[in-house]
């Protein structure tokens, strides 16, 4: 099992990825992903391209994904390409409910059992509310659970919840 951690876009998300990696109590390799643009100002995050690189390092092993913000889009591209290798997916702070993202999420997460996917959305996330994400995810698969969390920011430090879901 490979446990892939896909952080948000800005550089402060490196700490979140490292903290998730430290707090995960799961079997298998834990791989926090660090975006190139954090250290190379000439680099740009290309979610499709990054997903292909990540798929390459999984070597066909089963995968758990913990993703935050833009990482949820990378997670969708990964799941769309290797749905049979996805074990569980945790989506945190989905930042957009655009039609384009909906299509990608439907293609990716619509082919994976809803029992293997959970979303955490903070009550006052500045990008989207739990209600917006619930409505959005119901168009992907109405059985996917969206859990509203009591924070008023875009930070997702729910490590015990992550471990509980991944071990269930």
Summarised one tens digit per residue, pLDDT across range 126-147 is 999 999 999 999 999 999 999 9
* Mean pLDDT across the chain: 95
Tokens representing 70?
């833009």
Instruction: Give yes or no for a contact between 104 and 76, defined as CB atoms under 8 angstroms apart.
Output: yes
- Mean pLDDT value of segment 87-106: 96
Where would I find the beta strands (DSSP E) of the chain?
Answer: 2-6, 29-32, 63-68, 86-92, 117-122, 145-149
Q: Is the pLDDT of residue 100 over 90?
A: yes
**117-122 vs 63-68, strand pairing mode:** unpaired
pLDDT in tens, 31-58: 999 999 899 888 889 999 999 999 998 9
Count of domains observed in the chain: 1
Q: Is the pLDDT of residue 116 over 90?
A: yes
pLDDT in tens, 7-27: 999 999 999 999 999 999 999
Pairs from 17-20 (Cβ < 8 Å, separation ≥ 24):
19/157, 19/159, 20/66, 20/159, 20/162
Its domain, for residue 160, covers 2-38+45-167
Q: What is the CATH number of the domain that holds 127?
A: 3.40.50.1820
Query: Given this model, what pLDDT does residue 77 score?
Result: 97
Question: What is the share, in percent, of the chain residues with pLDDT greater than 70?
Answer: 100
- Residue 98: band (very low, low, confident or very high) from pLDDT cuts 50, 70, 90: very high
Q: Is the pLDDT of residue 111 over 90?
A: no
């Amino acid at each position: 099992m490979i446990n892939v951690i896909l952080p948000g876009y800005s550089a402060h998300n490196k700490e979140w990825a490292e903290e998730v990696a430290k707090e995960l109590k799961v079997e298998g390799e834990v791989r926090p992903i660090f975006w190139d643009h954090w250290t190379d100002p000439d680099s740009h995050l290309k979610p499709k391209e990054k997903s292909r690189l990540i798929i390459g390092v999984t070597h066909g092993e089963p995968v758990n994904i913990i993703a935050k913000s833009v990482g949820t889009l990378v997670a969708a591209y990964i799941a769309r390409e290797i749905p049979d290798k996805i074990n569980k997916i945790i989506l945190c702070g989905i930042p957009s409910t655009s039609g384009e993202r909906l299509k990608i999420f439907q293609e990716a997460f619509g082919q994976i059992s809803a029992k293997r996917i959970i979303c955490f959305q903070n009550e006052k996330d500045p990008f989207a509310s739990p209600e917006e994400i619930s409505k959005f995810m119901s168009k992907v698969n109405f059985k996917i659970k969206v859990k509203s969390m009591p924070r008023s920011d875009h930070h997702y430090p729910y490590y015990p919840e992550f471990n509980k879901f991944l071990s269930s």
